[in-house]
Amino acid sequence: MRIAFFGSSLVSSYWNGAATYYRGLLKALAAHGVDVTFYEPDAYQRQQHRDIDDPPWARVVVYPATEAGWQRALITAAREADLLVKASGVGVFDRELEIAVAAAASATTRVALWDVDAPATLDAVAADPSNHLRDAVPRYDVVFTYGGGDAVVRAYEALGAKRCVPIYNAVDPDTHHPVAPRENLRCDLSFLGNRLPDREARVEAFFLDAAARLPEKSFLLGGAGWDDKPMPANVRRLGHVGSADHNAFFCSSRATLNINRASMARYGFSPPTRIFEAAGAGACLITDRWEGIEQFLEPGVEILVADSGAEVAAALDGLDDLRAATIGTAACKKVLAAHTYAHRAREVLDVLGEPARRHEAAE
């Protein structure tokens, strides 16, 4: 099977939180004999901030971020692919691509919408009776999402989706695994996430408030966009952290914090890539509360759950190195057993009616 995948970027995680998801999932599909071509626009300086070379398991096509650029890329992709995928959040010409890919379905080419931010997409559609996806969604053969659970499935079915299937984030043990801590990254609590409107208030409530409550402890903030944000004195800012440094980032703190964006927390069942990255690295995770956590990690055993900055501070204040290590080890064991991209790839192939032709050597 040949897949042509239009997404934000496979080779750069710069302002691109979906990079880990794309890499892990498409690599695992390629291991089953799927021929992958990833189409990404030359936009947002991502090509200048590449953090991997073109991988051996996918062909990467970088097209100009122009109308002519995406049109030429789509003509080629539709001619060559058995499955044509439009991911949400490409960043340029999303509306045009979503309409055009839906219209490209044929007797030989299936089309899929792959929504990597279904809560935000569905909120936007609900707020706009003229949103283009109201007409486009019923034309796709399948809608995949990387989270959202039954609420997202029902919402997409109400829009006329033929089928909607969540394919959750996961871990690639080849890229996310325990490493030695780095002295320059040591802290009591870390958080990794870009500054986004749908996240900032929750970062203030869960991370910055906790830092203010524990002035004797050290906090580390990674991610782009935080330069001019007022911070407590015990918070250090790193700026953008490339994917090659994520393991060290997670392994160098006593605990690391997950904060879901507001829309993801509201829908639930939306574990971001960071949860699986950190768990794969054996880090002790503290997360804000959202419905469905227990489907992925057991609260109190494999992850700690907090409802506020005060509870984050209390959890951190009562966490010693032994308990942190025990929780991190348990989380790592769980994701390796049940939540790798090898598991997710088989789910995708089942939906598409494709056999799993061969299995990864690590299994």
Residue 360, in any domain of the structure: no
SS3 for 236?
Answer: strand
The answer on 161 and 197 residing in a single domain is no
The answer on 163 and 32 residing in a single domain is yes
The answer on 149 and 210 residing in a single domain is no
Q: Mean pLDDT over residues 170-198, rounded?
A: 96
Residue 254, in any domain of the structure: yes
Residue 359, in any domain of the structure: no
Q: Mean pLDDT over residues 241-255, rounded?
A: 96
The answer on 161 and 43 residing in a single domain is yes
SS3 for 276?
Answer: helix
The answer on 277 and 249 residing in a single domain is yes
Name residue 114's beta-bridge partners.
Answer: 87, 144
pLDDT one-digit tens code per residue, 28-68: 999 999 999 999 999 999 999 999 999 999 999 999 999 99
Q: Which amino acid is at 46?
A: R
The answer on 90 and 216 residing in a single domain is no
- Classify strands 59-64 and 164-166 as parallel, antiparallel or unpaired: unpaired
The answer on 215 and 296 residing in a single domain is yes
Could you tell me the two tokens for 253?
């703190």
Separation between Cα atoms, residue 353 and residue 330, nearest integer Å? 34
Number of domains in the chain: 2
Q: Mean pLDDT over residues 75-104, rounded?
A: 97
Asked if residue 350 has pLDDT above 70, the reply is yes
Separation between Cα atoms, residue 360 and residue 358, nearest integer Å? 7
Asked if residue 362 has pLDDT above 50, the reply is no
The answer on 161 and 45 residing in a single domain is yes
In terms of C-beta density within 10 A (0-12 exposed, 13-18 middle, 19 or more buried), how is residue 73 classed?
Answer: buried
Asked if residue 148 has pLDDT above 70, the reply is yes
Residue 177, in any domain of the structure: no
Separation between Cα atoms, residue 289 and residue 298, nearest integer Å? 12
The answer on 273 and 165 residing in a single domain is no
CATH number of the domain residue 123 falls in: 3.40.50.2000
The answer on 198 and 151 residing in a single domain is no
* Structural domain range at position 285: 183-338
- The predicted structure's pLDDT at residue 357: 62
Asked if residue 359 has pLDDT above 90, the reply is no
Confidence band of 341 (pLDDT split at 50, 70, 90): very high
pTM as predicted: 0.91
Query: What is the chain's length?
Result: 363
Residue 258, in any domain of the structure: yes
Q: Mean pLDDT over residues 258-287, rounded?
A: 94
The answer on 218 and 116 residing in a single domain is no
Q: Mean pLDDT over residues 312-316, rounded?
A: 98
- The predicted structure's pLDDT at residue 262: 87
